[in-house]
Structure 1
Amino acid sequence: MTVVNGKTFTAAPPQDEFPNSVFGAIIGSLNGFERLERLSKLEFLDLEYNRFNNKSIVSSIGHLSSLKSLNLAYTGLESVTNIQGLSSLQNLVFLDLSLNNFSDSIISFLRIFPSLKSLNLAGNRLKSGIQGLSGLENLEFLDLSFNNFNKSIKPFLRIFPSLKSLNLAGNRLESGIQGLSKLSNLEFLDLSFNDIGNSTLSSIGDLSSLKELHLDGCGLRGTFDIQKLDALGNLKVLSLGGNRITKVVDSRDIKIIRNLSSLFLDDSNGDGRSSIQLELLGAYPFLKILSLKHNSFKAGIFAQGLCELKHLQKLDMSYNDLSGTLPLCLANLTSLQLLDLSFNYFIGNISLSPLGSLTSMHTLQLSSNLFRIPISLLPFFNHSKLKHLNCHENEIYADIDVPTLTPKFQLRTLDLSGQGHGGVFPKFFYYQHKLEYVDMSNIKMKGEFPHWLIRNNTKLYTLHLPNCSLSGPLQLPIHSHVYFSDLDISDNHFNGSIPTEIGVCFPSLNFLNLSGNGLTGSIP
């Protein structure tokens, strides 16, 4: 995370934040790389994910004295010797050396960059010596995740009083962390994937400026008393996934609940079998994102205040044990933009469900349930914002009477694969012009190959229609479609020959399955 020109970024700032910038994508040695030295006004240079055979290349960068942002992530660097040529870059504000192979010796070297505000050393071999960064008084964003600091980092956190963002995820930290309380300006903290346990909550509780807290997979067990974080009145995002929490204790009267906008409790079953107990979901009045996936929740979760979250925009309840029909109170969640109910045991006809009222949705995931879904998609015709619909592995059926209506949606991706008899090829497809991915596998339909579907959707790249009972000759669109790359029409009843112009029509085709048909003649 970094700040450039008054804007905050969690990774390298985008190119347009620097009028003079270069992005690199080079493998091997760079003959003529020294020509970069002529770019005397260059401020932004991104060379991440390159593998330099000649490490002396980096020394050429040292002549770019105007550089403010340098990204050398995952470039095969492994020692101070490789980057000594950077010592003249005294204007550096952003430096990313993550996913390399540096050891502790790199830390004291970095003190030569006094203007640094953002430093990313994630994914190296660091173990100790963090006190060597004490001279970087302007440092606001520090990422030390996925190293091996263990206990060695704890006493030295206080040397960074200006820090706004600290990522210590994936180290081998244990128990409480000393020095955190001194970071009074901290707004982002990630302690995920350590084994610090419940005792850490007391050391976090004084960080009154904190806006985002990640404690995923960090050994939290038993009852999680959210009131211990009550001093975090500015907290917006709380992520507690991958722990063994059995119960979340909360109250409508505490500050943290009133301001929280995102709550993640993924994979948090207390004993791996029974679901986590949530007392007052309705007590989070401004919650916009709620993720409860991969737990063992049953239908009772809806009675715990879930339907009271009228500001909710994203709800993920996938991979649970939810069953029965969808509760009608879901219609209250009119702000929902993304809803994921996949991999549960819901039943019922979608036409009679509250989903028809949720017209703000752009993404709806219903895969691997027991819903009955009309192939016309009539219940969603008023969903003008709907872009992605996944109904894989449900029962698709043909509507008896479908009124002549034009759907308001323009889908990008559609998956209706699974089982069912859909009657004639769905008419709503005639009104779609922005499709990119379509899968109707194993849905029995009447009709010929829908070449017009490819013609009308110029960015379509995947079309799967295997085992759909389609028949007739294989007619292709007239014009070339350069995005189209994946076609499966196996196990149908197509006849005649393979069109000779198939290579011209689909020049980017890399997957083609025509098996199980009645095609004759030669292969073009």
Structure 2
Amino acid sequence: MIHSCSEERKMMILWSLCLIFALSNSILVVIASPSQHLCLPDQRDALWEFKNEFYVDSDVTNFEKMTEKWRYNTDCCSWDGVSCDPKTGKIVELGLISSSLNGPLRSNSSLFRLQHLQSLDLSYNNFSGILPDSIGNLKYLSVLRCSSCNLHGKLPSSLGNLSYLTHLYLSVNDFTSEGPNLQLVLPKLSSLKSIDLGSNQFKGTLPSNMSSLSKLEYFGMSGNSFSGSIPSSLFMIPSLLDVSLERNHFSGPLEIGNISSPSKLRYLIVGENNFNGPIPGSLLKLVGLEYLDLSFWNTGRGIVDLSFFSHFISLRDLDLSGIHLNISSTLHLPMINTLTLSSCNISEFPKFLENQTKLRYLDISANQIEGQLPEGFGRLPRLWYVNISDNLFSGKLTMLPNSTRLFVGSDNRFSGEIRRGICELFGLQVLDLSNNNFSGSIPRCLESFNTTLWVLHLQNNSLSGVFPEESISLGLISLNVGHNQLSGELPKSLINYTDLKFLNVEGNRINDTFPFGVSLLPHLQVLVLRSNEFYGPIYSPRDSLSFPNLRIFDISDNRFSGVFPSDYFVGWNAVSSVVEVEYYGRISVFAGGIRRYYYSSVVLTNKGVKMELVGRVFTMYKIIDVSRNRFEGDIPESIGSLKGLIVLNMSYNAFTGHIPQSLTNLTNLQSLDLSQNRLSGEIPPQLGKLTFISRMNFSYNMLEGPIPQGTQIQSQNGSSFAENPGLCGAPLEDTCGGGGEEEETEQEQDEEKEEKEQVLSWTAAAIAYVPGVVCGLTIAHILTS
């Protein structure tokens, strides 16, 4: 009995523990259960539908595919880019920056069902359409950002309904307006603190009365086509801090107006407009200015005294490019961070610069400054960006400040050797000493920069000797040593410079075989070996020669030889595509808290004319020039896959065979030169249908037959087809009708011969048929009897 009670007690304790455990576990499950989402179903459904209105690029990183991470059965308030009101569950913020959304933003988009949105950021997507009027339905919006979204058309007038809007960013699109639309919208946005409509296509004038924007702090309209005057009422807004109106067509005097209290304006950027007359003295009312850009102000014959700007005691950044200046030797300016005095008609190195110990950025390019750089210049402790190009500096290049990151000293008269002291600038990123009179060898110490040196441009000097292996930094993006007297071989270590995009060694005495290793450089876009002593084949069965990003290939005027295999140009993806995906030519340099850009360039021949490609032009031109070598054999059919090609020059070689029919696929071709070869056969008739081609040359070959008909071909000079004895038709004087009757007779004879052969064939068949039937019947009779 005692034993029985003890067992019962144990069982009761056990059951009690189990019950407690089960209850506690249930409580934990309820607490931790996600079954009750903060996000409301209608909000989730609207977001999900919005996601499905677009397609996402398959080649972008997972980090950018924000909407691809959304899961329908989860709390949408936890989705990337989504924020909800913790009390109501309504979505109040949606930020899908750079989410690779492609497709139009429709007027009936489910986005506009999110009526409680307060912040919407869709910047850096590809909507390729208009900003629909439905945007005005989001009446609680205080922040709207749609910069760089490929939007166009007029601003929707419904923006004026967004009475809570404080921040409006629609820059870098293609919005257009003749003025009235913007003039109607802007004054209604009385809560606006910040607006940026820069880099669009706006025209017309700004609203004359800006007083309704009483809370405005930032006003950005740069890079448009606004005209007329800047309303003085803008500067009378007491909260205004920054004004950015550069690169427009504003004109007339700049009127600051009557400012009753000290202005808070810090940034005034109005350069590259059409202002004229004297610099207005009313600028001195803006006592708190830190950044002032008046570049390319047309003062007529007036000369501006730089001492005028010494009154701005808070000034840190000053750009007076394009204004004729008078600079006193006793001038004292406030300590400046960035100073741009390009094209200011300065003839002496400004003495005051030697005392600017906080100076980080200096541009005094395109002046007439003579003599050597003063020693005090080399002692400036913070200077990192220096552009003294296009002046008359001479003598040896003195020591540069140790802090230098970018030095552009091109287009001067510097001479002597490039001093080894340049290699002590351990943070150097860009070195451009092109178009001077430097002699001696390339310093062998440049490899000390390891990965910091991105740009090395030494073209158009008198540098000599062998190109040293140890002269290049592993981080190089652009290397140009063209038009010197360098000899020997190219450094074999080039294959290690995996960031290299631009390689130009033209106009030297380099004696080497083709650098097959450069095909392994994944980012190479420009390869120029022109006018050297390179020799041998440019194809090797064991070396792949696929240049996926190459767009300019110039190996002309060398001693290359051999044949091109038919698949030689397979894998040249950048030239095969007519779509641009990368902006080469601009190299971003960041130091000292400032981002600046440096532009590479190359001189090439197009349509018989030498031209310099700079910056964005690199994305427009795709060129192959193998002229003036010793190539032979057929022109490869794979040339027709290069549909983005603009210039093709294969002249002065020994190519044989027919002109490839695949050339007719090159619908973007503007210049074609196949002259001075041994090509035979006809000119493909379809070449006459290439509408962009404006220069072609087939002279000095063995071509025959009629010249194709087509506006572009017929507009060529007869010399483009000269010395091809078998060619006939316009624009040559030889017509193609001389042997017409004889050809017709031969054709008739051929047809008559063919008919006779057919008759004989049928006769023979009939003769063979009769005995066959008789023989068959005889055999059948014998077998059945």
TM (norm. structure 1) is 0.74
Counting matched residue pairs gives: 486
User: Which aligned pairs between 1:353-502 and structure 2 lie closer than 5 A?
Assistant: 356-367=471-482, 369-372=483-486, 376=490, 378=492, 380-392=494-506, 394-399=507-512, 409-416=521-528, 418-425=530-537, 430=545, 433-449=548-564, 454-460=569-575, 461-477=622-638, 480=641, 483-484=644-645, 486-502=647-663
Counterpart contact for 2:462–2:484, Cα < 8 Å: yes
1:96 is aligned to 2:209: no
Q: Greater CA radius of gyration, 1 or 2?
A: 2
User: Which aligned pairs between 1:73-152 and structure 2 lie closer than 5 A?
Assistant: 77-80=177-180, 83-90=183-190, 92=192, 93-96=194-197, 100-103=202-205, 106-109=207-210, 111-112=212-213, 114-115=215-216, 117-120=218-221, 123-127=225-229, 129-135=231-237, 137-143=239-245, 146-150=249-253, 152=255
Residue-by-residue CA offset, 1:277-320 (whole Å, 9 max, x unaligned): 4444422344433222222333522467772544222233444x
Counterpart contact for 1:326–1:353, Cα < 8 Å: no
User: Which aligned pairs between 1:268-417 and structure 2 lie closer than 5 A?
Assistant: 268-270=367-369, 274=370, 277-302=373-398, 307=422, 309-319=425-435, 321-326=436-441, 328=443, 331=446, 334=449, 335-342=452-459, 344-349=460-465, 351-352=467-468, 356-367=471-482, 369-372=483-486, 376=490, 378=492, 380-392=494-506, 394-399=507-512, 409-416=521-528
Aligned partner of residue 573 in structure 2, secondary structure:
coil
1:333, 1:241 → 2: CA distance?
32
1:120 to partner: Cα distance = 1.8
Counterpart contact for 1:375–1:422, Cα < 8 Å: no
| Counterparts in 2 of 1:230 and 1:72: CA distance versus 1, 3 Å | closer
1:242 is aligned to 2:343: yes
Aligned partner of residue 83 in structure 1, secondary structure:
helix
Counterpart contact for 2:287–2:312, Cα < 8 Å: no
Aligned partner of residue 570 in structure 2, secondary structure:
helix
Counterpart contact for 2:325–2:345, Cα < 8 Å: yes
1:161 to partner: Cα distance = 0.7
Aligned partner of residue 282 in structure 1, secondary structure:
helix
Aligned partner of residue 459 in structure 1, secondary structure:
helix
Code of the aligned partner of 2:209: S
1:515 is aligned to 2:515: no
Match of 1:200 in 2: 306
| Counterparts in 2 of 1:115 and 1:239: CA distance versus 1, 3 Å | closer
2:394, 2:186 → 1: CA distance?
57
**In the alignment, which of 215, 218, 221 is matched to residue 323 of structure 2?**
218
Unaligned segments of structure 1, at least 5 residues: 1-13
Aligned partner of residue 248 in structure 1, secondary structure:
coil
Code of the aligned partner of 2:344: N
Code of the aligned partner of 2:343: G
Counterpart contact for 1:111–1:132, Cα < 8 Å: no
Code of the aligned partner of 1:220: L
Counterpart contact for 2:362–2:385, Cα < 8 Å: yes
**In the alignment, which of 352, 361, 366 is matched to residue 267 of structure 1?**
366
User: Which aligned pairs between 1:245-256 and structure 2 lie closer than 5 A?
Assistant: 245-249=346-350, 254=355, 256=356
1:228 is aligned to 2:332: yes
1:422, 1:446 → 2: CA distance?
10
| Counterparts in 2 of 1:223 and 1:422: CA distance versus 1, 3 Å | farther
Residue-by-residue CA offset, 1:171-230 (whole Å, 9 max, x unaligned): 3353575545845362x33122234856334524644462x43221222246677x7235
2:348, 2:261 → 1: CA distance?
33
Code of the aligned partner of 1:83: Q
1:108 to partner: Cα distance = 1.3
Residue-by-residue CA offset, 1:233-268 (whole Å, 9 max, x unaligned): xx1x332211222333568984x43x4443222112
Tell me which moved more, 169-178 or 436-445.
Answer: 169-178
| Counterparts in 2 of 1:148 and 1:338: CA distance versus 1, 3 Å | same
Counterpart contact for 1:292–1:317, Cα < 8 Å: no
Counterpart contact for 2:312–2:334, Cα < 8 Å: no
Code of the aligned partner of 1:349: G
Code of the aligned partner of 2:347: T
Counterpart contact for 1:247–1:278, Cα < 8 Å: no
Match of 1:172 in 2: 276
Alignment RMSD, CA only?
A: 4.6
Match of 1:59 in 2: 157
Counterpart contact for 2:344–2:367, Cα < 8 Å: yes
Counterpart contact for 2:211–2:237, Cα < 8 Å: no
1:144, 1:159 → 2: CA distance?
24
Query: Identity across aligned pairs (percent)?
Result: 16
Q: Which has the higher contact order (CA 8 A, sep 6+)?
A: 1
